[in-house]
Amino acid sequence: MKKILLALGYIAGVVVGAKFAHKNSQATKKKGVHKSSDIKDQAIDVGKEFITTHKNAFDEIKKEYWTPENKKLLLSKKTDLMKFFDLIRAEVTETIAELKENGVDTEEIHKKIESIYAEKSTILKKLGNTPTAIEAKKKLSTMIESTKRALKK
């Protein structure tokens, strides 16, 4: 229900934006104040206005938020995520070595790896469903699975 309301609100916003952007749009400046009586032409004009409005909005967002400082911040967060994976890999390797040294069987080592995986997964869940978070979750799963396969050998 919330998604439907969100979609309706978006559509209403687009319609209002297109209506008021019509006065300042590039398409209107090129054509002049030409009002078409044909429904097909009106639909095409509305489509063009819709596209122009969105292009302008994305350009404004890009100018405002995709600054060099924000790019550096994004890259630093990605670097932090890579350090996080290196720490997990080191923790898993150290745990395996310690457990093997103490004569613990493979099944117990698998359980310990699963507990480490569960702990780190809860940390990654806090990132949400962003593409970076999804990629990080996949990488963590792959890393844990490859560690388990290496133990079986």
Residue 63 has pLDDT above 70, yes or no: yes
Q: Are 51 and 15 in contact (CB under 8 A)?
A: no
Residue 43's pLDDT is: 81
Token pair, residue 46, equals 């509305």
Residue 30's pLDDT is: 53
Alpha carbon distance 136, 82 (integer Å):
9
Residue extents of the structural domains in the chain: 81-152
Q: Which residues contact 136 (CB under 8 A, 6 or more apart)?
A: 81, 85, 124, 127
Residue 121's pLDDT is: 82
DSSP 128-149: -S-HHHHHHHHHHHHHHHHHHH
Residue percentage of the chain with pLDDT more than 90:
0
| Lowest-confidence pick of 11-20, 53-62, 63-72 | 11-20
Q: What is the pTM (predicted TM-score) of this model?
A: 0.45
